[in-house]
Chain A
């Protein structure tokens, strides 16, 4: 019992940074780089979620596949860039991983929380777009929902 406690104490704390291709996502990365770069004891996962488009959104399967490939390619570039920012700020290379999650996703926030729970991350970091109330009402706000629904973790919202 005592050994387990010590082991878990010695484990790195996992931070999940949820990003998309927006400026505020980059701010979230920069914030973590500034705050934790060079500090030992942290393992960072940079996550981007691409909601799988409904099969019936595109006229043909080719169009759909091409859209997905384009999204994947953009996301790969973005994740590589953000990983490099963290490494340059002092994170050890093998303690920064990237995940691109493409799946059916009625709510992006729920998908992020799902990943956080699976990876047992103690903190979610996310940028806030600053959407208007109307936009939040119609289209939702990922950061607001994570603040509301996240459990057993800290949530850092970066503006």
Chain B
């Protein structure tokens, strides 16, 4: 890794310049002694807290690494992803360095070869510039040609966590909050459709990869660097992710068969294997059996992701066509109920 003292570094910024910027944006007590500048991030493990990474003559003050916050339980550190302060304007950025990981992705009992592709993420960042439903940022090559992505930090909760706090119970949530949640979801699904139309896939659609931005209320997709060589269907895996999220939103959380059994729910005995998620066989997707007020038209969409499904969605547009009908039907029903009241 290229690592030089500021005095040796080819940069427009002197050590006093950088110290002054850190003082301005982070605080005088945060200026490290022996400031170090990094221009080659090849060995990301050696990019330390308090280093300044200079990319394209733009300084970023490195802070903590990010974690993979999957379901809040096995939060693994992502050492190649660092939070940083942009020393030119004080904004918080996510600096994603290059980690050429190749691994077997496991989905239920199926596995497939997967890679992390910085170039893919860079290409998508270019493609979605200005799109309200994606994280925004750009990519830049470091001194060794690594494609480093600089992404605006999104202040907010995951969409999944946000939804869990809505409504006093599921029925209240479903009638009073779900219509808006569904509209937000439709925009997110359209955003994925936009990628597909441009011969790209998200590659890792999970509910914790949507952040609801605190200031704007916009939901944005994050983390789109996973890539794999597809078989018949390029978009099947993305659609699977969209289906899982839809079931989560409609159920205000995953509805687990094990939970129903443990709580002696009478619903448990009415469930059949066909009612379960086609991949995660412990999750109920035939939610109308659990919550009878879920309209049939929505349930039919959910059943495309069930063990009992005989036909699957081929692309996001097919899903969207059905969902827009669901949204209209729920809106009409709610308007009808309001008039009755």
Contact of A145 among B196, B232, B305 (CB under 8 A): B232
- Counting CB contacts under 8 A, is A141 at the interface? yes
Contacts A106-B196, A136-B312, A137-B278 known; A142 to B117 CB distance under 8 Å? no
Q: Are A57 and B115 in contact, CB atoms less than 8 angstroms apart?
A: yes
Give min CB distance, A87 to chain B, whole Å: 30
C-beta contact mask, A49-70 vs B, less than 8 Å → 1, else 0? Answer: 0010111110100000000000
Give min CB distance, B106 to chain A, whole Å: 12
Q: Are A145 and B279 in contact, CB atoms less than 8 angstroms apart?
A: no
Q: Are A138 and B234 in contact, CB atoms less than 8 angstroms apart?
A: no
How far is A137 from B311 in the complex, measured between Cα atoms in Å?
9
- Counting CB contacts under 8 A, is A9 at the interface? no
Q: Are A134 and B279 in contact, CB atoms less than 8 angstroms apart?
A: yes
Q: Which residues of B contact A81 (CB under 8 A)?
A: none
Residues facing B in A19-68 (CB within 8 A) are: 51, 53-57, 59
Contacts A56-B123, A109-B232 known; A138 to B237 CB distance under 8 Å? yes
C-beta contact mask, B164-198 vs A, less than 8 Å → 1, else 0? Answer: 00000000000000000000000000000000100
Q: Are A57 and B229 in contact, CB atoms less than 8 angstroms apart?
A: yes
Residue of A nearest to B100 (CB): A59
- Counting CB contacts under 8 A, is B49 at the interface? no
Q: Which residues of B contact A136 (CB under 8 A)?
A: 312
Q: Are A107 and B314 in contact, CB atoms less than 8 angstroms apart?
A: yes
Q: Which residues of A contact B235 (CB under 8 A)?
A: 106
- Counting CB contacts under 8 A, is B231 at the interface? yes
How far is A79 from B132 in the complex, measured between Cα atoms in Å?
47
Q: Are B231 and A54 in contact, CB atoms less than 8 angstroms apart?
A: no
Residue of A nearest to B231 (CB): A139
Q: Which residues of A contact B240 (CB under 8 A)?
A: 137-138
Q: Which residues of A contact B289 (CB under 8 A)?
A: none
C-beta contact mask, B270-285 vs A, less than 8 Å → 1, else 0? Answer: 0000000011000000
Give min CB distance, A88 to chain B, whole Å: 31
C-beta contact mask, B84-101 vs A, less than 8 Å → 1, else 0? Answer: 000000000000000010
- Counting CB contacts under 8 A, is B293 at the interface? no
Q: Which residues of B contact A133 (CB under 8 A)?
A: 278, 307
Q: Are B278 and A145 in contact, CB atoms less than 8 angstroms apart?
A: no
Q: Which residues of A contact B100 (CB under 8 A)?
A: 59
Contact of A138 among B199, B200, B236 (CB under 8 A): B236
Q: Which residues of B contact A138 (CB under 8 A)?
A: 107, 110, 236-237, 240, 279
- Counting CB contacts under 8 A, is A75 at the interface? no
- Counting CB contacts under 8 A, is B120 at the interface? yes
Which range contains the number of A residues in contact with the other chain? 20 to 34
User: Which residue, of B199, B234, B305, B309, has the highest number of chain A Cβ atoms within 10 A?
Assistant: B234
C-beta contact mask, B225-255 vs A, less than 8 Å → 1, else 0? Answer: 0011111111111001000000000000000
Q: Are B229 and A139 in contact, CB atoms less than 8 angstroms apart?
A: no
Q: Are A134 and B278 in contact, CB atoms less than 8 angstroms apart?
A: yes
Q: Which residues of A contact B312 (CB under 8 A)?
A: 136-137
Contact of A57 among B117, B196, B231, B309 (CB under 8 A): B117
- Counting CB contacts under 8 A, is B292 at the interface? no
- Counting CB contacts under 8 A, is A104 at the interface? yes
Residue of B nearest to A145 (CB): B232
Residue of A nearest to B197 (CB): A106
- Counting CB contacts under 8 A, is B162 at the interface? no
Residues facing B in A94-123 (CB within 8 A) are: 104-109
How far is A145 from B120 in the complex, measured between Cα atoms in Å?
28
**Extra A-B contacts (13), CB below 8 Å, given A138-B240, A140-B232:** A57-B227, A105-B234, A106-B199, A106-B235, A109-B232, A134-B278, A138-B236, A139-B236, A140-B231, A140-B236, A142-B232, A145-B232, A145-B233
Q: Can you list 15 A-B pairs, Cβ within 8 angstroms, ordered by A?
A: A51-B230, A54-B120, A56-B120, A56-B122, A57-B227, A59-B100, A105-B234, A106-B235, A134-B109, A134-B279, A136-B312, A137-B236, A137-B278, A138-B237, A142-B232
* A contacts, CB < 8 Å to B: 51, 53-57, 59, 104-109, 133-142, 145
Q: What are the 10 tightest A-B residue pairs by CB atom distance, in nearest-first order?
A: A140-B233, A140-B232, A56-B119, A56-B120, A139-B231, A106-B234, A142-B232, A56-B117, A138-B236, A140-B236
